[in-house]
């Protein structure tokens, strides 16, 4: 018989809907039951593409005897961390405060009032059974001790950031010297041989390399650009990247970008589209263009919903084996490729016994992860072929292998649509369109923007929903949803000059200011940082603020970027002041931990650099933007209109502007100070 999770939309929760465990979703029904029956709560948190979540389900949650222990002793709640990042963040922080290294599955034991007293990640079956008995015994026999512990952890969760990190409202000090200090501290952690940071596993961490891109523009420091290109090259050529189908896995388990954890997440691929497109605009590296095109093709083929939103993730496993869908035995490749096997084997580092040994239920089977050390240009030279010859052969081989791969049992698909991750994808598609002027990229971006604003926004009050599936939107949006969607809409306005996108971005920003701001005062001035949850949302045991950048940048740092850009586009000085106050608040943290606040560091460098704004007025505005962007690196702010007179435009950069004579006219500005208008792209580039 299915349990209560059968009525949910989350693929992760639905995976557990037929467990013998009497799972509840997070909500009032479960919490009321715990209070009424005076039972401890077990909250088990994971996500659909989590390998060890599947293992623990198979070993423990699917077994009747273990489920009986859980049902008799606890109120059991299953949480999809991607659907409820607020619940996940609170209990992850609590477990880390207990001295446990965080991760998923995350299993946390709570008092009936939801205060946490103990937590653990994965546990094998017998250890799990022993733990269940021990925890319930402690609840029955030593509850006063558990209450004391829970009070301590709850107090820790409710510490303000000013107390926790020693933050204060200070004016940010913008200087090249401080930006250089951030770079030098970060540089001590670089892997200068293999790219990325000098550790394993290796995650893409796009905001770190956005910082390097910005810093290289500020200082022309070759070390920054060298580390950026080394990392992007190694990621795109390594096993982290799907060499046949496109798209990036979540991380590499080794330091060589060779062996991925094969799950593919929308948030990684959306951010990496922006990073590779922006890096291409600086370097012109054809590998980066190829990577963007193939990654968009992957997302369109495997993650795009019929309605225009993008699904969340692909599992690492298929047929119970990690990576089976993506890897090949040498015999398979030899039989399939025939005379093409030899050069293919050289290019993709194929070994006779397999280049990757992966533990399976049937012993070790040698399989090959396709990865490269040479670019197309380098390999063609080595083989004494033309570039065109190699491209033709690669196209033929990819088509053949992809046709075979399509017959395999596919990895599981997490088909919920998350607002925040789709905001990152929107920004990625827009960045790709602005870099490469590919109409299909804009078509996908426009369709996605319409989907978000029509399907994931509450028409009654204008707020965003966090999650969507099968026509049903649920869960009030978090700061990450607003920040990512606003960022995408700002980019879409600059790509199209359609004012509705700028208006929508500003309306969502107003909602954030009204519903996520901290209205408590600390001294003479309120904390400028935003809460993660809407003031109208469910009350949890703590209301937190997200400060630290991780694989996804902190929602506060994205929002600070948004406020700065909107202040220039809309002439909203209060937005710029808020962004600077946010930056000033965390500047001491940035200077000590740039790798954990890299998106903040990227904003800091942007503030040291003079802002460059370009306003274009006239019928050729779109053509002029395309020409200008072909010559400029990322970071320039564009505004434009096809009208002859821009007086009535929404963007403040256009107000009071007009055409010179009958020619489309370009206004080049720096820190809001504009030079005399010009009527050709060449003249504008000279001014820049």
**pLDDT digits 0-9 by tens, 627-670:** 999 999 889 999 999 988 888 889 999 988 989 989 999 999 99
The model's pLDDT over 165-182, given as tens digits with 9 standing for 90+, comes to 888 888 888 999 999 999
Same domain, residue pair 273 and 306: yes
Same domain, residue pair 617 and 645: yes
Q: What is the CATH number of the domain that holds 62?
A: 3.40.30.10
The answer, yes or no, to whether residue 510 has pLDDT greater than 90, is yes
Same domain, residue pair 80 and 102: yes
Structure tokens at 340: 């093409």
Note the pLDDT of residue 331.
94
Same domain, residue pair 458 and 493: yes
Same domain, residue pair 92 and 216: no
Note the pLDDT of residue 609.
93
Residue at 166 is within a domain:
no
Instruction: Give mean pLDDT, residues 429-455.
Output: 98
Note the pLDDT of residue 168.
87
Same domain, residue pair 604 and 616: no
The model's pLDDT over 546-582, given as tens digits with 9 standing for 90+, comes to 999 999 999 999 999 999 999 999 999 999 999 999 9
In the listed set 351, 374, 407, which residue is the last one of a domain according to the structure? 407
Residue at 163 is within a domain:
no
361 pLDDT tier (thresholds 50, 70, 90): very low
Note the pLDDT of residue 646.
80
Note the pLDDT of residue 430.
98
Residue at 347 is within a domain:
yes
Same domain, residue pair 421 and 536: yes
Same domain, residue pair 681 and 579: no
Residue at 171 is within a domain:
no
Instruction: Give mean pLDDT, residues 30-56.
Output: 94
Task: Quote the mean pLDDT of the chain.
Answer: 94
Residue at 283 is within a domain:
yes
Please enumerate in sequence order all residues whose Cβ is within 8 A of that of 212, keeping only pairs 6 or more positions apart, or say none.
183, 224, 225, 227, 228
Q: Name the residue range of residue 668's domain.
A: 612-687
Same domain, residue pair 219 and 183: yes
CA-based nearest residue to 487, from 251, 672, 341, 270: 270
The model's pLDDT over 192-206, given as tens digits with 9 standing for 90+, comes to 999 999 999 999 999
Note the pLDDT of residue 528.
95
Same domain, residue pair 506 and 523: yes
The 8 Å CB, 24+ separation contacts for 562-568 are 562/483, 562/486, 562/487, 562/490, 562/505, 562/509, 563/509, 564/603, 564/606, 564/607, 565/490, 565/637, 566/486, 566/490, 566/505, 566/506, 566/509, 568/611, 568/613, 568/637, 568/652, 568/653, 568/672
Q: What is the CATH number of the domain that holds 265?
A: 1.50.10.10
In the listed set 365, 388, 407, which residue is the last one of a domain according to the structure? 407
Same domain, residue pair 370 and 479: no
In the listed set 97, 129, 158, which residue is the last one of a domain according to the structure? 158
Same domain, residue pair 366 and 304: no
Residue at 164 is within a domain:
no
310 pLDDT tier (thresholds 50, 70, 90): very high
Point out the least confidently predicted range of 1-10, 364-373, 501-510, 602-611. Answer: 364-373
Residue at 165 is within a domain:
no
The answer, yes or no, to whether residue 362 has pLDDT greater than 60, is no
Domain count, the chain: 4
Note the pLDDT of residue 363.
44
Note the pLDDT of residue 525.
65
Note the pLDDT of residue 656.
86
Residue at 516 is within a domain:
yes
């Amino acid at each position: 018989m299915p349990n209560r999770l059968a009525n949910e939309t989350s693929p992760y929760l639905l995976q557990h809907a037929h467990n013998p465990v009497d799972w509840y979703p997070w909500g009032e029904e479960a919490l009321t039951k715990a209070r009424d029956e005076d039972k401890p709560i077990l909250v088990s948190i994971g996500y659909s593409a989590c390998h060890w979540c599947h293992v623990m389900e198979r070993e423990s949650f699917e077994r009747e005897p273990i489920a009986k222990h859980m049902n008799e002793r606890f109120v059991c709640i299953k949480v999809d961390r991607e659907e409820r990042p607020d619940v996940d963040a609170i209990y992850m922080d609590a477990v880390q405060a207990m001295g446990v290294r965080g991760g998923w599955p995350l299993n946390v034991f709570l008092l009936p009032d939801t205060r946490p007293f103990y937590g653990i990640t994965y546990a094998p079956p017998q250890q799990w059974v022993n733990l269940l008995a021990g925890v319930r015994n402690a609840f029955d026999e030593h509850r006063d001790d558990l209450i004391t512990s829970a009070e301590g952890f709850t107090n820790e969760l409710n510490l303000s950031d000013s107390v926790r990190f020693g933050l204060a409202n200070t004016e940010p000090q913008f200087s090249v010297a401080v930006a250089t200090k951030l770079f030098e501290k970060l540089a001590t952690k670089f892997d200068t041989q293999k790219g990325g940071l000098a550790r394993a596993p290796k995650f893409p961490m796009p905001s770190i390399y956005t910082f390097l891109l910005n810093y290289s523009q500020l200082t022309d420091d070759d070390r920054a650009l060298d580390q950026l290109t080394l990392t992007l090259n190694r990621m795109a050529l390594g096993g982290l990247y799907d060499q046949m189908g496109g798209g990036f896995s979540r991380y590499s388990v080794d330091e060589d970008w060779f062996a991925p954890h094969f799950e593919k997440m929308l948030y990684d691929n959306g951010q990496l589209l922006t990073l590779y497109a922006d890096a291409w605009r600086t370097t012109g590296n054809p590998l980066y263009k190829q990577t963007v095109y193939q990654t968009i093709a992957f997302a369109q083929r495997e993650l795009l919903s019929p309605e225009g939103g993008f699904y969340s993730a692909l599992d690492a496993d298929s047929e119970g084996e990690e990576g089976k869908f993506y890897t090949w035995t040498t015999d398979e490749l030899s039989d399939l490729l025939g005379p093409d096997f030899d050069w293919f084997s050289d290019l993709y580092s194929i070994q006779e016994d397999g280049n990757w040994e992966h533990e399976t239920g049937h012993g070790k089977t040698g399989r090959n992860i396709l990865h490269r050390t040479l670019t197309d240009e380098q390999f063609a030279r080595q083989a004494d072929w033309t570039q065109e010859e190699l491209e033709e052969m690669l196209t033929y081989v990819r088509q053949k292998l992809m046709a075979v791969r399509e017959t395999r049992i596919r990895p599981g698909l997490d088909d919920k649509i998350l607002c925040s991750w789709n905001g990152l994808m929107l920004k990625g598609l827009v960045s790709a369109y602005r870099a490469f002027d590919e109409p299909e990229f804009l078509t996908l971006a426009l369709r996605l923007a319409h989907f978000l604003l029509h399907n994931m926004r509450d028409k009654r009050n204008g707020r965003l929903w966090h999650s969507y599936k099968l026509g049903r939107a649920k869960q009030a949006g978090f700061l990450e949803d607003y920040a990512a969607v606003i960022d995408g809409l700002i980019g879409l306005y600059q790509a199209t000059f359609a004012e509705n996108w700028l208006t929508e971005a500003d309306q969502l920003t107003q909602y954030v200011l009204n519903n996520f701001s901290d209205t408590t005062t600390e001294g003479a001035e309120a904390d400028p940082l935003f809460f993660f949850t809407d003031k109208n949302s469910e009350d949890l045991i703590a209301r937190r603020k997200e400060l630290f950048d991780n694989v996804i940048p902190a929602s506060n740092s994205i929002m600070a970027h948004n406020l700065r850009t909107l202040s220039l586009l809309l002439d909203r000085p209060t937005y710029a002041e808020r962004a600077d106050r946010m930056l000033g608040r965390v500047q001491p943290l940035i200077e000590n931990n740039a790798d954990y606040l890299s998106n903040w560091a990227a904003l800091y460098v942007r503030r040291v650099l003079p802002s460059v704004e370009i306003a274009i007025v006239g019928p050729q505005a779109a053509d002029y933007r395309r020409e200008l962007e072909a010559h400029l690196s990322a970071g320039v702010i564009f505004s434009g209109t096809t009208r002859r007179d821009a007086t009535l435009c929404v963007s403040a950069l256009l107000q009071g502007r007009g055409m010179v004579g009958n020619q489309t006219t370009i206004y080049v500005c720096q820190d809001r100070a504009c030079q005399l208008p010009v009527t050709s792209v060449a003249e504008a580039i000279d001014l820049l």
